[in-house]
Amino acid sequence: MMSQDATGPAIQETSEELQRTVTRMFGRSLHIRTLDTGSCASCEQEIRLLAAPHYDLHRLGFFFTPAPRHADLLMVTGPMVQVFETAARKTYDAIPDPKIVVATGACALGGVYQPDPFTRGGIGSSFPVDVWIPGCPPSPLALLQGLLVAVGRLADKVKDLDFALNGTPT
């Protein structure tokens, strides 16, 4: 359950609505296709580790699939190299609706590269992104949390953090 705050009701509406859709559509089985748009390969390593014994995302009903036709969720890493955009668009279109796009890592969120002749500086301008996972690279735990947010099994709690300490610094 989400508490009111400065970010208006419209935005809240979208997030709640997304969560409802996702839970309705995919339940406890959701297939993930990843897409590397120019990452530094450590995001990929962390995603691979999601399937490793320590995290084992299969127990939560997530599965990896190489075929976009079978995928429900697109995990995009990297700053979207411009010459790769065709391939990225093809992959996105190849995934049947309804689909979720998860921007993974600081590059994809526009943290590392700025828009310039080589990269778009984040994937926000290329896809309608549903979930944003910060981190450089986001640890498997962060990725898990992001995926759970995507299927709405965790409240979208980040709104409530304000990243400002009142009182003594930790």
Partner 1 sequence: MTATQPGLADEPRLRDLLSVFGQDGAGDEPVITVSAPVADLSAAVRRIAAHPGARLADVFVATHETDGPVTLRLIWGLDADRRYLVSESLIEGETYPSLSDIVPGAFTEECEIYEQFGIRPANGRPLNRVALPPWAGPDWPRLGRAPTEPPKDVHAPHHVGGHAFEFPFGPVRQVAVESLYYGLVTSGEELVDLYLFTWHKHRGVEWRLRGMTPGDALFYVERTEGLGAVGNSWAFAAAAEAALGLEPPPQAMAARAIALELERLYNHAAATAALCQSTGLVIGQAAAEIALERLLRLNAAVFGHRYLFGVVDIGGARADLDAAALRGDLPAAYGELERAAEALLSTNSFLDRLEATGILAEEAARRLGLVGPVARATGLAADTRADHPAWPYGEFPLAVAVADAGDVLARFRVMLTEAAESVRLIGEIGRTGAGPGLALPPGAGPGQAASSGLGWAESSRGESLAWVALDDTGRITRARLRPAAVRNWRGFDDACRSQNVFTDIPIIEASFWLTVAGTAR
Partner 2 sequence: MPLWTLRGLRRGIVTTRYPARPDPSAALLPTPPVFRPDVLTPGLADRLVAVCPSRALARDGDLLVFDVGACTACGRCRAEAPHAAGDSGEFELAATVREHLVKQIPLGGRSA
Partner 3 sequence: MNPLPVVAGAAAAWGLATLIALTCGSTRAGIRASCAVSGLGGAAALAGGVSALISGNSRVVSAGGSVVVGTLQLQATSLAGVFVALLGLIAVATALYAPRYHEPGHATGLYLGVFNLAVLASLAVLVAGNVVTFLVAWETMALLCYLLILRRPRQREVAAGAFWFLALSEVGFVAIVAAFVILAAKTHTMQLDLIAARAHLVSGDWRVTAYLLALTGFGFKAGLVPLHVWLPEAHPVAPADGSAFLSGLITKLGVYGIALFGFVLLPDGPAWRGILTMGVGAVTAAIGILYALGERDIKRFLAFSTIENIGIIVTAFGAAMTFLAYGQRLLWAFLLLAGLYHVANHGSYKTLMFQEAGVIEHATGTRDMDRLGGLAHRMPRSSVITFLGTLGIAALPPLNGFVSEWLIFQGLFQGFRTGSHLVAILIVLAAGTLGLTGGLAIYAFVRGYGIPFLGMPRTRQAAAASEARQPQAGPALLAVACVALAVGAPVMLAGLARAMRTITGVTLRPVLLPGNLTVIPAHTNFAGFSPTWLTVFLLAVCAVPALIYLAGRPRGASRIEPVWDGGIIAFKPRMQYSAMTFSAPTRVMFDALYRPSVSVLRASDDPAGSSGPVHYESEATPIFERYLYRPVVRAFEWLADVVRPIQSGDVNLYLFYVFAAVLVAYLVAAL
For residue 85, the surrounding DSSP H or E stretch is helix 85-94
Q: Does residue 97 belong to the site contacting partner 2 (CB under 8 A)?
A: no
Say which residues have a Cβ less than 8 Å from residue 35's Cβ, sequence separation at least 6: 74, 75, 76, 77, 88, 91, 92
Cα–Cα distance measured from residue 110 to residue 170, given in angstroms and rounded to the nearest whole number? 28
- Of the chain, the end-to-end C-alpha distance in Å amounts to 28
Give the residue among 46, 50, 112 at the shortest CA–CA distance from 80: 112
Given the rule CB under 8 A, which of 21-29, 106-114, 125-133, 145-153 is the region that contacts partner 1?
106-114
Given the rule CB under 8 A, which of 18-26, 43-51, 147-155, 160-168 is the region that contacts partner 1?
43-51
Cα–Cα distance measured from residue 93 to residue 89, given in angstroms and rounded to the nearest whole number? 6
Among 11, 41, 67, 87, binds partner 2 (CB under 8 A): 11
The residue ranges that bind partner 1 (CB under 8 A) are 32-49, 52-54, 64-66, 68, 78-79, 81, 83-84, 87, 90-91, 107, 112-113, 116-119, 136-137, 139
* Residues making contact with partner 2 (CB under 8 A): 7, 11, 14-15, 18-19, 53-56, 59, 106, 109-112, 114, 124, 129-136, 139, 141-142, 144-146, 148-150, 153-154, 156-159, 161-166, 169-170
